[in-house]
Structure 1
Amino acid sequence: MEILFISTIAGLLQGLTGFGAGIILMLYLPYLYPVIQCSGIIGIICLFLSLIMALQYRKFIELKKVLIPLSIYILISTITIVIGPSLNSSYLKKGLSLFFILLSFYFLFIKKKNTQIKMSIFISLFCILISSICDGLFGIGGPLMVIYFKNKTDNQNEYLGCIQLFFLVNCIYNTILRIINDILLPQHLSIILISIPAICLGLLIAKKISYQLNINFINKITYLIIGLSGLFNLIA
């Protein structure tokens, strides 16, 4: 089945970069379900994915680096999930896609290798706000939070631990909210149960090969995924 292959790739990318599973799944699931329902399906799949990775990197988690962005993120995504079904989100999605393409281009071709973005309060809030809105509408909140946590953490293990705990708590909360608002329905259970083992297989593959890859290569993969997700959503 196509969903098995796609879910395995989603798990592989999540294991290498700390995000990406939701993006890969969102490229396929809208052919089966309305976009707002896809966000609920992706949310519960990513819940299990984030749980596995958060446990794997639990020793490296810095809780204080997670709590503040998580509090803001949950507040904004709550509002977005509640009003999301009544919105025509097509224009927002196209604009967001273009932004992801430009962001990817900057990191891959313009930004110097050894320079860091200075995460001012304004830039930090921008990353959190836009990501939480995207998560509420499309189930994709990863790209800008990757930028945020990569600049707030000291190494790859701490980054993976913090961002997976962040996603885990957020996925649990948003899944409950989507069930309450009849976005996530019983008929979605079958595809969720099919996807989770395949994603776990992808994670296992990522764990086996990650030690053979250097951090610069992983970062390039991360930003390439951001750009490709924007491109696919722009033309979809």
Structure 2
Amino acid sequence: MVIELVLIFIILLCGSFVQGVSGFGFGLIAMSFLPFLFTVKESALLVITLTFILSLSIAVQLFKHIQWKSLLVILSAALIGRVGGFLILHNYGDMDILKTFLGLFLITVVIYLFWNESPNPEKKVNGTWLPIVLGLSGGLMGGIFAVGGPFFVFYFLLVFHDNKYAYSANLQVTFVITAILTITLHGVSGDFSMEFISYFLVGLVSVLIGSRIGIHYFAKLSQQNIKRLAAVVVAIAAANLILFG
């Protein structure tokens, strides 16, 4: 039990640090390793709940940079996607096959992180179908695997390519609001166990420490290098999930 809690603390500390530095990555890191200890359902619920705390902590610090009008379409679509994600996780979250699907999705995200090009500042960002598609996709994947961040990252990098504080602030608000919906739906459905409390408390301390450190180094470390390092770690874990999950 003690070793398990230590492993959870380390995994979540690394994930929260990456999120504090780059704006996302907590779910990617955490969901790459937690399913080796729990089911996908248990892992996702822990990550989503802690994402709420972590993102709220960062959003409060960057509150003045939030641009609410830019959130309307993508956030509305994300909430719809989260309902679909809830239905799948609630009914099938204990099945081992989800670990394979999670591994495949993580590999896809790694490919995106490595080959994603910098946004073109002169290219006009579509304000209708693009945020709808990305919002639905991010909401669905976030609701099932707690790793819907890349879809939102892609959109907000396009919209706020010249303002990394607005990018991070709007990203965190999206995580906060979608997490509230998911936590409420699973709470009403009785998906949280008593053991969850101990894991949550350990995770809470971990993410608060990790995010503080990450925010401290936000302006000092290269976001791109942090993402690449995280991508390598996620790729290794994803391969293990596919082969041995």
- TM-score exceeds 0.5: yes
Against the structure 1 CA distance between its residues 191 and 158, is the aligned structure 2 distance closer, same or farther, given a 3 Å change threshold?
same
TM-score with structure 1 length normalisation? 0.86
Q: State the match for 1:37 in structure 2.
A: 42
Determine the C-alpha separation between the residues in 1 that align with 2:21 and 2:137: 23
Segments of 5+ residues of structure 2 without an aligned counterpart are: 1-5
Render the CA deviation track for 1:204-236: whole Å, top value 9, x for unaligned: 2123222323xxx21342355356435522431
User: Conserved in 1, the CA contact under 8 Å of 2:139 and 2:178?
Assistant: no
Q: CA deviation at 1:44?
A: 0.7
Deviates more, 1:8-17 or 1:93-102: 93-102
Determine the C-alpha separation between the residues in 2 that align with 1:168 and 1:159: 15
Q: Does 1:105 align with 2:105?
A: no
Deviates more, 1:74-83 or 1:95-104: 95-104
User: Conserved in 2, the CA contact under 8 Å of 1:104 and 1:223?
Assistant: yes
Determine the C-alpha separation between the residues in 1 that align with 2:11 and 2:159: 31
Segments of 5+ residues of structure 1 without an aligned counterpart are: none
TM-score with structure 2 length normalisation? 0.83
Q: Does 1:146 align with 2:153?
A: yes
Aligned with 2:196 (options 185, 188, 197): 188
Aligned with 1:76 (options 76, 81, 85): 81
What are the residue-to-residue correspondences of 1:112-131 with 2, within 5 Å?
Answer: 113=118, 115=120, 119-120=125-126, 121-131=128-138
Q: State the match for 2:3 in structure 1.
A: none
Identity between Structure 1 and Structure 2 (%): 22
Q: Secondary structure at the match of 2:217?
A: helix
Determine the C-alpha separation between the residues in 2 that align with 1:115 and 1:132: 25
User: Conserved in 1, the CA contact under 8 Å of 2:138 and 2:150?
Assistant: yes
Aligned with 2:17 (options 12, 17, 20): 12
What are the residue-to-residue correspondences of 1:138-217 with 2, within 5 Å?
Answer: 138-153=145-160, 154-213=162-221, 217=222
Determine the C-alpha separation between the residues in 2 that align with 1:165 and 1:143: 15
Q: CA deviation at 1:83?
A: 3.0
Q: State the match for 1:222 in structure 2.
A: 227
Against the structure 1 CA distance between its residues 223 and 151, is the aligned structure 2 distance closer, same or farther, given a 3 Å change threshold?
farther
| One-letter amino acid of the counterpart of residue 199, structure 1 | V
Render the CA deviation track for 1:44-82: whole Å, top value 9, x for unaligned: 111111111110000010011112211111111102211
Q: Secondary structure at the match of 1:210?
A: coil
Aligned with 2:143 (options 131, 136, 144): 136
Q: Secondary structure at the match of 2:183?
A: helix
Determine the C-alpha separation between the residues in 2 that align with 1:106 and 1:225: 14
Alignment RMSD: 2.3
User: Conserved in 2, the CA contact under 8 Å of 1:50 and 1:167?
Assistant: yes
What are the residue-to-residue correspondences of 1:33-72 with 2, within 5 Å?
Answer: 33-72=38-77
Q: CA deviation at 1:125?
A: 3.4
Determine the C-alpha separation between the residues in 1 that align with 2:165 and 2:43: 30
Q: State the number of aligned residues.
A: 229
User: Conserved in 1, the CA contact under 8 Å of 2:104 and 2:238?
Assistant: no
User: Conserved in 2, the CA contact under 8 Å of 1:124 and 1:148?
Assistant: yes
